[in-house]
Every structure is written in C-alpha cells, then in structure tokens.
Structure 1
Amino acid sequence: MSQSIEARILNWLESQQGAMIDLVRDVVNIDSGSYDKRGVDDVAEVFERFLSNHDIEAWREANDVYGDALHARVGQQGANEKAALLMGHRDTVFPKEEARRRPFRIDGDRAYGPGVSDMKSGIVMNLFVAAAFKKFGGAPCPIRLLITSDEEIASPSSRPLIEREARNARAVYNSEPGRPGGNVNTGRKGCVFMRFEIFGKAAHSGGNFTSGASAIGELAHKVTAIHALTDLDKGITLNVGLVSGGQSVNTTAPYADGQIDLRYIDPADRDDTLAAIERIMGSATVPGTTARLDLKGEILPLVQTPGSKVLFEAYQQAAFDVGLVGLTGEFSGGCADSGFAASVGTPTICAVGPVGGNNHTPDEYMEINTLVPRAQALALAILRTPQ
C-alpha cells in the first residue's frame, strides 16, 4: 500500500536535516546587515540556487537601497484563490566582518553564528517545506514564499510588499525563531522608532556661560519626561537608547540628539503616547532651546483575531501530531513583520521557525534538533490550512 502524501512529505523532511544544516551554514557565513545591500542580496542568491535546484519558480522584486525582495511559489494561483504565505527576513543586526569573526559552528545540539536563529534557519525551513510540496504535491492551496531584506530596521521597503502579499493569502506563517521553550507567538507588541534633535546655543562655559543654552541639558530633561510615559500595566515602554551631542567640554552644547523606542499593545496607546512625546518636544525646560521629532520606522502589533486563533489551533494540532507536545501561543514584547500581515486582516501566526534564543547577541543559537519537527509541523499545518 502506497504512503499517503502526508507521510511522504514528513518522511522526506525527516531525511533532510543534514541538508538543512548545510544551507543554514552557507547563509550564516555571509554578512547581511540591513544596510548591506550586497550582502543581503548575496544571501538571496544562495536561496535562489536552492529554489532552482528544486524546480521552484522564483523571482526578485528589485530595490535600489535595500536588498531585493525574493518571491517564490509552488502551484498556480487562480484568480479567486488565496495562497498560504510563508515569510521570513534574511537581514541581520550585525556589522560587516561579523561572519568572519564568528562563523557558523555547532556545539552539541546547538548551532551558533550571526543570524542563525533570527532568522536564517527559519527561511531555510520554509524553503525545504516548499521543496517537499513541489516534490510530492498535496498542498490544498498554492504556497507563496516572501523573503524580505530589512525587517531589523522596521521594513521600510518591505512593508508594502508584505501587506500586498498578505491580502492575497488565506494564512500567513512567519518563521521567526520559535520561543526558547518551544512555543510560537500569537501576539506581539507594536513598536515605533523615533529620533529627536535639540538645538541650543554655544557659549564659552567659563567666560560667557549665561549666553549659552545647553542642548544636552534640555535633552536630559526630555529623556526623563519620555521615560516617565512608561506604563507597565498597559504594556507601554519607552526607551531612549542612543544619545549624542555637544561641541567641547568647555562649550555649552549647541546640539544634541536621541533615539526613542516605543512599545505598545493597544493601538490607541500608540497615538496617545506619540501625542505626549510631541508635547514634550514642543516645550522647553532650558530657555533658548528648541526640538524636532522624526519617526524613523514602525512595526504594527500582532493581534490575535478569531481567524488567527483558528489558524493557531490547526498549527498546534499539527505540531502535536509530529511530537511537539505542549506547544502553545505566547505574547512577546518584540516586534516582527507578522504585525504588518495581521494588520490587513489575514490570519497570521509568528515564530513557527526552529527554536532559538539570545538573538542580536554573540550568543545567538538555534536548536538543531528542532529544524526537522518544526518543518514537519509547518507542512502538516499547510495540509490542514483552514479554508
């Protein structure tokens, strides 16, 4: 008696762990910081070769500033038919030469290297799932892949592509790393990145002190006021993570700037907090100073809708059926592109990639033994995609 499509797909994925690790190694050893277009596109070339070798249709959507978006599909999509969309980003937070300084390595059951968890292994998993459906068929709907290039800087070029592709999808699986305990994300905070500038007046700090207006002094007042907007009960956090300014130690500072990270759960809190920050910028504690605020980037929250809950429950059952017992949904203060997909109303779950942790640090790791079962869970979830 011949095997079912489900069994053939799961068995083939079971046999691919070595090949998966090899592909993860290849792309981890390429620098691909968000602003390194050449490096990000070099990673895309590696993925393109894999797709070509598996006879999967793929194409790029070019960008002059950031890395190109890479698309792929298995199965033809009819005019009124919606696909399952598998997403991932191939950019990292690390500088040039990071891959040379600490290349891919395996220590016990964990793999290490820049971007190994966040999220090159998740993209590799998506590619092997697509290859399994290309090889054996059986998908109840077309499968689309979207591999983006700038998530770590709030997706300035990719957001409209994500929203467009999500509108044409019946379900979105974002393969950010699985939580350290093995869970997935059913909710995430939204985030807004801002930069503020303060303009003061230079003066000699000894001979002409009273003629100056210290931008750094004003910055200190504003940082305190911004941090005071944090409301942990509501899930609102404010962090001024970068500051700079000044001309010399014996000059009142004519200029200073800072960068703000706002995290929130309720979209109404986003608007209220931004309005409060605008008021802080519009007033001055140090006479003679002025300020300007610019929004640099934003990622929307992932909010679980009834459709997303159904999608998660189907994924949870698929995970159980391949041995991932006890997997549940978590809320995260981190932001991800899944928020953009969910914002257009498409059922979305996040962090379905291989399990990892310590992201954005030299200790970032991926649990090797989760590569295959997480791929199997995703494939089985696609086979059972809610209509």
Structure 2
Amino acid sequence: MTETPGFPESLASARDEMIALLSDLVNIDSPSRDPAGVDAVRDRIASFLDGEPGIRLSRMPVPGHADALLAEYLPQSPAAPGLLMGHMDTVFARGEATARPFRIEADRAHGPGVADMKAGLVMNAFVLRELARSGLAVPLQALFTVDEEIGSNGSAPVIREVAARSAFVLNSEPGRVSGNVVDGRRGGAFYRVTISGRAAHAGLNPADGRSAIVELAQKILAWTALTNPETGVSVSVGIVSGGQAVNMVAPEAEARIDVRFATVESGEAAEVEIRRIAETPFTPDVDGRMECLGKFLPMTGNAALTADYVAAAVQVGLALKAEFTPSCSDAGLTSSMGIPTLCACGPVGGGVHSEREFLELDTLVPRAMAAARLVLSRAAA
C-alpha cells in the first residue's frame, strides 16, 4: 500500500495540475479595468478551491472593480494566520489571450500574465489547498486582488483589512530571473494631467488659439527633469493624447505620468513639484489639472522573515537571496503597516509587461514548497 505524502510533500505531485490551472488563467483576459475578465479569473480560482475541506471563500467588494476573493483555512489555533497575496489583473488588453494563448516551449510557459502574476495565483491556491487537505492546525489565508497594475486604489482597503489580522505576508509576484526574492522596493504613483487650451483655425488665425499640446510638451520636459538617481526618484510620461483635428490648434491634451521613489518623503516632494508644473502655465490662458490614479508605498523587508524563507528554500533545494528592486507592488502597503512582508515569492519568470513574458515551469513546485515550509516554520515558532 502506497502511503499518501504529507504536506508540503504532496505539492511535488501537483505539477501537471498546476500547469493546467495556469493555462486556464492565462487564457482569460483580465485587464485591470475589465471587471468581467477579472471576475472570470476569480471564478476559476474559486471553483478550484470550492468544496475543499476547511476552506472558506468570501467575495470582498472593490467599488468600481471586480470583487476580490479571500480564501481562508482557519483551523482551531491560537496563532494568527499567514497571508499569501496576489493580484488577478494584468496590463494586457482584451484580446491578448486569444492572440497569444498559453503555450509551452521547452521548459518555459508563455502568454499574457503567465509570470505577472497568474503563476503566483496558482501557487497560492495550491499551497492553501494542500495545507487544508493535510488537516494540520496551521491557519493560512490567500487574498486575490483586482487592480494592482493600476495602483490598487480599490484593493488597498481590502488588503489592509486582511493584512491587519495576519502574522506575515508572502506576496507572490514573480521571482527575479536570478531566482531571488525581494525584500525592498521603491514606491510609485500614477497621475493624470489634463490641459485645457483654446481652439482656433490652424491656418486662418492660429494666434487666437492656445495649444494644449504645446503646453503639455513643455511640461513633459519639466517633469522628466525631476528624475534624480540620488534620491531614487524617476519620472516617466507613458501616455500622451490630445487635439481634435490636424487643422485645429489643440484645445485639450492629456498625459499619464509614472513616478517612482525610494522614500515616502521623496515621493511627496516629487508630487508637489509635478503638481506645480501641471498647474503653472507656460502659455497664458491655459489651465492644467492633476489627479492621482494610484499609489504604492515603498517596501521595507523584515530580516527575520527573509531569513526564515531562505532557510525554507534551502530545504527544497533552492539557493537564493533577497534583493532590492526598483519597481513597486502591494507589498509596500503591508510592510508599511509593520507586518513582516516578503515579495517576489512566486515562481520565477521574466519579460513581464511585454510579449516576451515567460515562466520557468520547473520553479512552480519548488517555489510552492518553499512557501509551504515557511508557513509551517512560522507556525511552529
């Protein structure tokens, strides 16, 4: 008679099942501003976990977006649960999954969001399921959020609510290409600036107009000049639009700005300057308005949690370290609450936010087992 493996060893036989769920999720378009698509991802995860012993599923409303999903395994235990965290939205537009469906070439999986971060969602769901099936009295939660790629404005209250009752957080963003996890990140913010000028005929009376596009061009140069490597601040204008007709002086224009910062203070200072430039006209009779679309706080790691995770990884044959990365994530929110947090704990991938995105399939099971061993070691401490 073959003995059934315990937790987390049971994850070792789940590779094919994990890949099947990953394929399903990647083949669902889930742009941040497409509630139906994100709903479909949530429903697929919920159907995977539904009916598992001891797992309770709850939909958590996020105004203006799809509902988040909270999956909890809370056996009788005096310990606070750990939290596995991940976002269901991607940066890719509807239709991308049809154009580039999930595929495997050699040892890599490809497709929109395969690494960032649908593989992390799969990992979290399997760790929670296998723990629940084991019956061990180790409490654990998994939170699946909906708008991380646009700043988590909607999900932030949900994250705070769940994280506040958690002992630690593993955020399952993709592991670095090196295999490392992340114990520090910059913060970030997204802004929209709208410029209002005055229309006029471009050939007949252009001097009567006030070009919002010309105004915006000057502001873009001023914003990008705020980039300062010494303070960890970078400013990038990623989207520009404006005008109504080629033969009209443009009466309006708009820009979307991405700002990254090393500290809360440097981020606040950058916002003040960006707003000043937005609202101070280079051209008379032109108005500018700025709004914040989303904001991430810088992440500071927890040395004890990082050490525990590295030790857990060693147990499953992974040699890795923790590193700082200049991008941002929801881990900044939980670490700012004083909750021990580690990021990039998901399977390893690269080329994210591009058609070159890939996932190293051989890291699915080991990264899941490392997370599982961390959960067990923290419960035993």
* Global fold match (TM > 0.5): yes
1:363 aligns with 2:360: no
Q: Give the whole-Å Cα distance in 1 for the aligned partners of 2:100 and 2:48.
A: 25
How much has 1:53 moved relative to structure 2? 4.4
How much has 1:54 moved relative to structure 2? 2.6
1:15 to 13, 16, 29: 13
Q: Give the whole-Å Cα distance in 2 for the aligned partners of 1:67 and 1:256.
A: 30
Alignment of 1:253-332 (within 5 A): 253-304=250-301, 308-325=302-319, 327-332=320-325
Aligned to 1:165: 162
Aligned to 2:59: 60
TM-score, normalised to structure 2, is 0.95
How much has 1:64 moved relative to structure 2? 5.4
How much has 1:108 moved relative to structure 2? 0.4
Q: Which amino acid aligns with 2:366?
A: P
Gaps of 5+ in 1: none
Aligned to 1:348: 341
How much has 1:187 moved relative to structure 2? 0.8
Aligned to 2:120: 122
Aligned to 2:194: 197
Tell whether the 8 Å contact from 1:32 to 1:94 is kept in structure 2 after alignment. yes
Aligned to 2:36: 38
Tell whether the 8 Å contact from 1:58 to 1:71 is kept in structure 2 after alignment. yes
Q: Percent identity?
A: 44
Change (3 A) 1:323 1:97: same
Q: Give the whole-Å Cα distance in 2 for the aligned partners of 1:64 and 1:100.
A: 28
Q: Give the whole-Å Cα distance in 2 for the aligned partners of 1:254 and 1:283.
A: 17
Alignment of 1:7-156 (within 5 A): 8-55=6-53, 56-63=55-62, 65-76=64-75, 81-138=79-136, 141-156=138-153
Tell whether the 8 Å contact from 1:138 to 1:383 is kept in structure 2 after alignment. no
Tell whether the 8 Å contact from 2:153 to 2:293 is kept in structure 1 after alignment. no
Partner secondary structure for residue 369 of structure 2: helix
Tell whether the 8 Å contact from 2:62 to 2:155 is kept in structure 1 after alignment. no
How much has 1:201 moved relative to structure 2? 1.6
Partner secondary structure for residue 299 of structure 2: coil
Partner secondary structure for residue 384 of structure 1: helix
1:207 aligns with 2:207: no
Q: Give the whole-Å Cα distance in 2 for the aligned partners of 1:270 and 1:77.
A: 43
Change (3 A) 1:300 1:361: same
Change (3 A) 1:206 1:38: closer
How much has 1:241 moved relative to structure 2? 1.0
How much has 1:204 moved relative to structure 2? 2.4
How much has 1:342 moved relative to structure 2? 1.1
How much has 1:81 moved relative to structure 2? 4.2
Q: Which moved more, 1:358-367 or 1:369-378?
A: 358-367
How much has 1:143 moved relative to structure 2? 0.4
Aligned to 1:221: 218
Change (3 A) 1:121 1:252: same
What's the RMSD between the two structures over aligned residues? 1.9
Q: Which moved more, 1:269-278 or 1:282-291?
A: 282-291
Partner secondary structure for residue 328 of structure 2: coil
1:235 aligns with 2:232: yes
The ranges of structure 1 where at least 4 consecutive aligned residues each deviate by more than 6 angstroms after the TM superposition are: none
Q: Which whole-Å deviations, capped at 9, do the CAs of 1:187-215 have from their partners, x for residues lacking one? A: 11111100111111222233323222221
Aligned to 1:245: 242
Tell whether the 8 Å contact from 1:186 to 1:330 is kept in structure 2 after alignment. yes
Q: Which whole-Å deviations, capped at 9, do the CAs of 1:17-70 have from their partners, x for residues lacking one? A: 111111111111111111221221111121112212432221212345311111
Q: Give the whole-Å Cα distance in 2 for the aligned partners of 1:282 and 1:32.
A: 35
How much has 1:8 moved relative to structure 2? 2.3
Q: Give the whole-Å Cα distance in 1 for the aligned partners of 2:284 and 2:62.
A: 45
Q: Give the whole-Å Cα distance in 2 for the aligned partners of 1:272 and 1:46.
A: 42
Tell whether the 8 Å contact from 2:346 to 2:367 is kept in structure 1 after alignment. yes
Q: Give the whole-Å Cα distance in 1 for the aligned partners of 2:190 and 2:146.
A: 18
Q: Which whole-Å deviations, capped at 9, do the CAs of 1:67-103 have from their partners, x for residues lacking one? A: 111111112466x742100111111111222212221
Partner secondary structure for residue 9 of structure 1: coil
Q: Which amino acid aligns with 2:312?
A: A
Aligned to 2:377: 384
Tell whether the 8 Å contact from 1:77 to 1:83 is kept in structure 2 after alignment. no
How much has 1:220 moved relative to structure 2? 1.1
Partner secondary structure for residue 35 of structure 1: coil
